[in-house]
Amino acid sequence: MDKRISEIARDVSACYANVADKDKIAFIWLLEGARKFAESLVAKIDFKVEVYSIRASSYKDLHVSSGKVEISGELPDLSGKRVLLIDDILDTGLTAKTLIAELKSRGASEVKTCFLLNKISKNRGSVKPDFQGFEIPDEYVVGFGMDSAGFYRDLPYICVLQ
């Protein structure tokens, strides 16, 4: 896990290397699932960056999307900022598409995405990650920040919940 996150951090750092004004870059991650991944990633980035967190979810029960994304949390003025949206898992793409639109409506000049996991069979290309850790099959996973009803979030690895 650490090796792959280091590789992603290297790629993210290279992506923003030519941005003269690093104050115009903001990383925004989704609570709670992406916290562990995002904190590990940000610690390996080779420049200082503004970081913010928000909550967003389309899941009302454990495994089924409601089809509507609820967003909560305060965001700063993003006018002219290049934003990297960080999440634990790209599933159907609904949350990511909704958040990309919301961040752009708040003035972000660019929104790139970074996911630890990508369920390519469910997403079917509706959102193409700019950065990703691993592609996985359509299974319910927990660990490394991801939970099931509050359990398993503290696992240092990712596993399929049976």
Q: Show which residues are catalytic.
A: 91
Nearest Cα neighbor of 91 from 56, 131, 126, 44 is 126
Rounded distance between C-alpha atoms, residue 67 and residue 37, angstroms: 25
Alpha carbon separation from 24 to 6, 18, 107 (Å, rounded): 23, 12, 12
Measured CA to CA, the distance from residue 28 to residue 162 in angstroms comes to 31
- CA distances (Å), origin 161, targets 63, 75, 152: 11, 33, 9
Q: Encoding tokens for residue 122?
A: 């469910």
Buried residues in 69-103 as b, exposed as e (16+ CB within 10 A): beeeeebeebeebbbbbbbbbbbbbbbbebbbebb
